[in-house]
Structure 1
Amino acid sequence: MLEARNIMKIFRSEGVETCALAGADLTVESGEFVSLVGRSGSGKTTFLNILSTLLSPDSGQLLYRGEDVTAFSPARLNRLRQKDFAVVFQFHYLLPYLSARENVLLPYMKGMKTVPAEVRRRADVCLDRVGLSGKGNKLPGHLSGGEQQRVAIARALVKESSVLFADEPTGNLDRETGDAVMSLLAELRDEGLSIVMVTHDNEYAAMADRMVAMADGVVG
Structure 2
Amino acid sequence: MFNTIKILTLSAVLATTSFAASAATVYSASTMAGGAGGIGLTNPAGNGSIYALDANAYPILAGPYFNGTTDPASQWVWAAPDSPALSQALQFVFSFTLAAQDLARATLTGVWAVDNEADVYLNGHLIDQLLGDVSSSFNQLHDLADLGWLQAGENVLSFDARNIGGDPTSANPAALLASVKIDVAPVPLPASLPLLGGALAAFGFVASRRKRSV
TM-score range, shorter chain: under 0.3
> Which structure: greater strand fraction?
2
Higher radius of gyration, 1 or 2: 2
Q: TM-score, normalised by structure 1?
A: 0.24
> Which structure: greater helix fraction?
1
Q: TM-score, normalised by structure 2?
A: 0.25
